[in-house]
Amino acid sequence: MNQKNDLQEKVAIVTGGSRGIGTAVVSELASRGAKVFFTYNRSDEEAAEVEKASGAVKVKCSQTDGEQIASAVDSIVASEGKIDILVNNAGITSDQFIMMMPQEEWTKVLDTNINGAFRWAKAVCRPMMTARQGTIINISSVSGLLGIAGQTNYAASKGALLSFSRALAAELGPKGIRVNAVVPGFIETDMTARMPRQIKHQNLDRILLHRFGKPSEVARAVAFLASEDSSYIIGQTIVVDGGLTGTVA
């Protein structure tokens, strides 16, 4: 059990908190004392369960709707007076070889993953700048580092999130706001449950720890970047992949 209470008084928004890594981040931040709001798109039942289990507050709000996002941020600032932490976690895949990929599947993935992160960062940066403090954590993917066939849309969105993070860190760092990124490897969630068994086995062979990660293992890295434990870390990327990248095994 987590004994730390270092996020007390902090107000956090986690996008895509109804399932998977997002749910683990919601639980981790809430267990460390933060007041957490999380978004979701369609999973009403799952979101209600996360709300009940964690004490966090669910907000139905699509990544693709800038007006909904701006009004969610306005209402959180109105009720809480500030936003300290934004975790840009919501994301989707729609894997296809490029020859077969309809334009709308390209656009949908980019709009959800990278344009959505832009919309949230834009909405929270004003209250964070007024407070002259805050942290933004962008959840990228090993697909943004490696070339994975069938993921041109997802890889483009996740690679873009990394360069977006660094540029945003350069803009907001002087205002006291730290922006960093987390790159998960293969993590046990609904997203990887859909992977064909053969692809899973191939990837397991390339992971030094020879297992997929748990959402909680990503959540702890996110909480580190959200907390004062990382007070001098900015514009950086933490890779949580069990040794999939970074070595020649």
Q: What are the catalytic residues? A: 154
Question: Cα(181)–Cα(238) distance, rounded to whole angstroms?
Answer: 6
Cα distance between residue 222 and residue 19, in whole Å: 16
Position 106 contacts ligand NDP (CB under 6 A): no
In sequence order, the 6+-apart residues with CB closer than 8 A to the CB of 4 are 32
Which of 7, 31, 34, 39 is the binder for ligand NDP (CB under 6 A)? 39
Binding flag, residue 42, ligand NDP (CB under 6 A):
yes
Q: Closest CB to ligand NDP among 126 and 200? A: 200
Q: What separation in angstroms does the CA of 7 have from each of 12, 227, 234, 240?
A: 9, 7, 19, 22
In the complex with ligand NDP, which residue's Cβ is closer, 108 or 166? 108
Minimum separation from the CB atom of position 140 to ligand NDP (A): 7
Least spacing, CB of residue 242 vs ligand NDP, in Å: 11
Of the candidate spans 20-28, 73-81, 164-172, 200-208, the one that interacts with ligand NDP by CB under 6 A turns out to be 20-28
Contact between 16 and ligand NDP (CB under 6 A)?
Answer: yes
Q: Which of residues 138-197 bind ligand NDP (CB under 6 A)?
A: 139, 141, 184, 186-187, 189-192
CA distance readout (Å), 197 to 144, 154, 193, 204, 211: 22, 20, 9, 11, 14
| 38 vs 224: CA distance, rounded Å | 18
Among 27, 31, 89, 153, binds ligand NDP (CB under 6 A): 89
Q: Which residues contact 216 (CB under 8 A, 6 or more apart)?
A: 24, 27, 28
Give residues in contact with ligand NDP (CB under 6 A): 15-22, 39-43, 46, 62-64, 89-92, 112, 139, 141, 184, 186-187, 189-192
